[in-house]
C-alpha cells in the first residue's frame, strides 16, 4: 500500500507532495516553509527519508535543503544542476528504494529547465504516479523561457520530446502529479482541471496532440511576462537557501511608519481593498493579504528594498510573512497591526479614493478622463475599452510618468490588480477611481470594447 498527500499553496499556484508507504516517505519539491510537510508525515506516522527536487525552481525558494537537514533525509537533486551544497546527484534511470515494494525512478525530462527530472513512483515495479514538476502539467507544460533566452526554443522542443517520452513509457492509468500549473507563472498556461492521468493527457495536451513545430510555435507565441523576482529565485536555490525566520517583525509606531515613507521605503497595507480605499496611510500601497501577495509584491517592489507591513491582525501579518518568505522576502523591516487611525499621527487625516464599477464608468462617461487598463498583454488582446491606456500593473510603478493627466479610472480583470494600481497612483498624488468589477461587465455596461 502507498499514499500520496498533496500540499497545495494557492498563493503561488503550486502543489507539493508527500508520498510513501507504511514506514517511510519522500517529499517532492517542498516549499520553504515546510512545516506542513512535517505535519503530513506525522499524521501518517512515517519518517521522511528522501527529499527530491524535480528542478531548480524559478518561482519560489525551496525548502528542500533545510527539510533534508532537519529530517536527516537524503537530498536528491538533478545531477545537471550545478548547486553549491552537498546533495545526492540524480541521473536518468536512477532508482531509489522508498519503502517495502515502493521505489522512485528518475526520468530525465528537460524542457522547463535543461536538467529537469521527473520521478515515477512504482509499486511492486509497476508505475502508479509520476511527479512531473514543470514538465508535463494538466493540459499544458511548464514554460521554457525562464533559464536563458538563447535556450528557449531548444527547451520548448525538449518539452515536446519529454512529454512524449512520459506518454510512451508510462501506462495510461498513471497519475500525473505536477508542481506547477495551478496559478504559477512557471506554467505556460493554467491547469485544465484538478487531476489527470497519462491517458487523459494523450487526448488533451497540445504537447501530445500536435507536431513539434506547431507546438513550439504556439507555445512561444503564447508566453506572457514572467514576474521580475524570478530572476532571484534560481540563484537563491543554487546557493542553498537559509532557514526561514517567521518570528514577528519589530513593531513600528506612527512616527516610524512616517519616517520609513519619507525615506522612500515601501509601506504595504495588507487589508482588503474596500477597507484600504475608505481610509489608509498616505503613501502606502495596497497588496491584499488574501490576494496573490507574494507574486505581486515581489514582482513590483525593487528587489531588496525594505518593506513595512500594516495588518489588521497578528494572524493576517503572520500569514503574509509566510507567503513572502516563499519568494525570498525574508524579514519585513517593521510591522504594525490594528487600524489606519493608529498608524498616523494623532489627528492626522487618512487618505482615500473612490471605488466604482464599469456601469459607473459608463454613467460617468469616458470623455476627459483616463481609463487605465493594468491587465497583462494577453488579456488585453482579448478585448479592451476603446481609448484606454494600457500599462500592465507590474510595469506601472516604473511608468507612472506615462499616465496622462486627469482623473484615472483604473481597471483590471476583477479588481485586485486595479486596487494595487490605484494605491500606486494615489501615493503618487493622482486622482484615481478603482474599478472593482469583472471585465465582462464592461460590455454589459455598453462601453465600447474592441479586440486586439
Report the distance separating Cα 162 and Cα 118, nearest Å. 10
- pLDDT score recorded for residue 171: 98
Task: Give the helix/strand (H/E) hosting 274.
Answer: helix 273-278
Report the distance separating Cα 279 and Cα 350, nearest Å. 5
> Grid coordinates representing 390?
494600457
**C-alpha count within 13 angstroms, C-beta hemisphere, residue 45:** 2
Could you tell me the pTM of the whole model?
0.94
> Grid coordinates representing 444?
454589459
pLDDT at 442 over 90: yes
Task: Please report where in the chains the cell 498616505 appears, as a residue.
Answer: 282
Q: Which of 285, 276, 268, 224 is nearest to 436 (CA)?
A: 276
Give residue-wise pLDDT tens across range 121-132: 999 999 999 999
For 255, phi and psi rounded to 5 degrees?
-65, -40
Q: How many CB atoms within 10 Å of residue 367?
A: 6
Q: Give me the mean pLDDT over the 248-254 stretch.
A: 97
Higher pLDDT, 165 or 192: 165
11 band by pLDDT with thresholds 50, 70 and 90: confident
26 band by pLDDT with thresholds 50, 70 and 90: very high
Q: Give me the mean pLDDT over the 411-426 stretch.
A: 97
183 band by pLDDT with thresholds 50, 70 and 90: confident
State the virtual CA torsion across 161, 166, 167, 169 in degrees, nearest 10.
120
Q: Give me the mean pLDDT over the 296-313 stretch.
A: 97
Q: Percent of the chain having pLDDT more than 70?
A: 100
Report the distance separating Cα 347 and Cα 118, nearest Å. 59
Instruction: Please name every residue paired with 123 in a beta bridge, in sequence order, or none if there are none.
Output: 102, 126
- Measured CA distances, 32 to 16, 50, 327, 375, 419 (Å): 11, 16, 9, 29, 28
Give residue-wise pLDDT tens across range 13-22: 999 999 999 9
pLDDT at 337 over 90: yes
Higher pLDDT, 2 or 194: 2
Mean pLDDT of the chain, nearest integer: 96
Q: Give me the mean pLDDT over the 319-348 stretch.
A: 96
- Measured CA distances, 370 to 95, 361, 379, 388, 417 (Å): 60, 11, 19, 7, 17
Q: Give me the mean pLDDT over the 368-388 stretch.
A: 96
pLDDT at 360 over 80: yes
pLDDT at 189 over 90: no
Q: How many residues does the chain have?
A: 452
Amino acid at each position: 500500500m502507498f499514499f500520496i498527500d498533496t500540499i497545495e499553496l494557492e498563493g503561488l499556484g503550486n502543489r507539493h507532495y508527500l508520498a510513501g508507504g507504511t514506514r517511510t516517505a519522500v517529499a517532492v519539491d517542498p516549499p520553504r516553509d515546510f512545516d506542513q510537510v512535517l505535519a503530513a508525515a506525522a499524521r501518517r506516522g512515517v519518517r521522511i527519508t528522501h527529499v527530491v527536487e524535480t528542478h531548480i525552481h524559478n518561482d519560489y525558494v525551496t525548502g528542500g535543503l533545510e527539510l533534508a537537514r532537519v529530517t536527516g533525509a537524503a537530498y536528491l537533486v538533478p545531477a545537471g544542476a550545478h548547486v553549491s551544497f552537498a546533495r545526492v546527484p540524480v541521473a536518468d534511470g536512477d532508482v531509489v528504494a522508498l519503502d517495502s515494494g515502493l521505489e522512485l525512478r528518475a526520468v530525465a525530462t528537460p524542457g522547463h529547465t535543461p536538467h529537469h527530472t521527473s520521478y515515477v513512483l512504482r509499486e511492486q515495479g509497476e508505475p502508479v504516479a509520476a511527479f512531473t514538476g514543470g514538465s508535463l502539467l494538466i493540459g499544458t507544460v511548464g514554460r521554457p523561457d525562464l533559464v536563458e533566452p538563447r535556450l528557449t526554443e531548444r527547451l520548448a522542443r525538449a518539452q515536446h520530446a519529454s512529454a512524449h517520452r512520459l506518454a510512451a513509457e508510462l501506462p495510461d492509468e498513471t497519475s500525473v502529479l505536477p508542481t506547477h500549473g495551478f496559478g504559477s507563472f512557471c506554467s505556460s498556461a493554467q491547469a485544465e482541471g484538478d487531476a489527470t492521468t497519462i491517458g487523459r493527457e494523450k487526448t488533451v495536451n497540445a504537447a501530445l496532440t500536435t507536431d513539434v513545430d506547431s507546438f513550439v510555435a504556439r507555445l512561444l507565441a503564447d508566453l506572457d511576462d514572467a514576474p521580475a523576482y524570478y530572476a532571484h529565485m534560481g540563484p537563491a536555490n543554487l546557493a542553498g537557501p537559509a532557514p526561514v525566520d517567521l518570528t514577528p517583525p519589530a513593531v513600528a509606531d506612527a512616527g516610524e511608519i512616517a519616517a520609513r515613507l519619507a525615506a522612500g521605503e515601501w509601506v504595504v497595507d495588507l487589508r482588503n481593498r474596500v477597507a484600504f480605499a475608505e481610509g489608509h496611510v498616505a503613501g502606502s500601497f495596497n497588496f491584499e493579504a488574501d490576494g496573490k501577495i507574494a507574486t505581486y509584491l515581489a514582482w513590483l517592489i525593487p528587489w531588496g528594498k525594505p518593506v513595512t507591513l500594516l495588518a489588521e491582525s497578528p494572524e493576517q501579518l503572520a500569514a503574509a510573512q509566510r507567503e513572502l518568505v516563499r519568494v525570498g522576502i525574508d524579514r519585513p523591516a517593521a510591522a504594525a497591526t490594528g487600524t489606519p487611525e493608529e498608524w498616523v499621527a494623532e489627528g492626522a487625516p487618512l487618505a482615500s479614493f473612490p471605488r466604482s464599477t464599469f456601469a459607473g464608468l459608463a454613467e460617468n462617461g469616458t470623455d476627459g478622463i483616463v481609463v487605465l487598463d493594468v491587465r497583462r498583454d494577453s488579456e488585453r488582446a482579448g478585448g479592451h475599452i476603446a481609448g484606454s491606456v494600457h500599462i500592465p500593473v507590474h510595469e506601472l510603478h516604473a511608468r507612472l510618468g506615462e499616465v496622462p493627466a486627469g482623473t484615472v479610472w483604473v481597471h483590471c480583470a476583477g479588481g485586485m490588480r486595479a486596487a494595487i494600481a490605484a494605491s500606486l497612483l494615489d501615493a503618487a498624488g493622482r486622482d484615481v477611481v478603482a474599478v472593482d468589477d469583472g471585465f465582462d461587465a464592461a460590455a454589459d455596461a455598453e462601453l465600447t470594447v474592441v479586440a486586439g
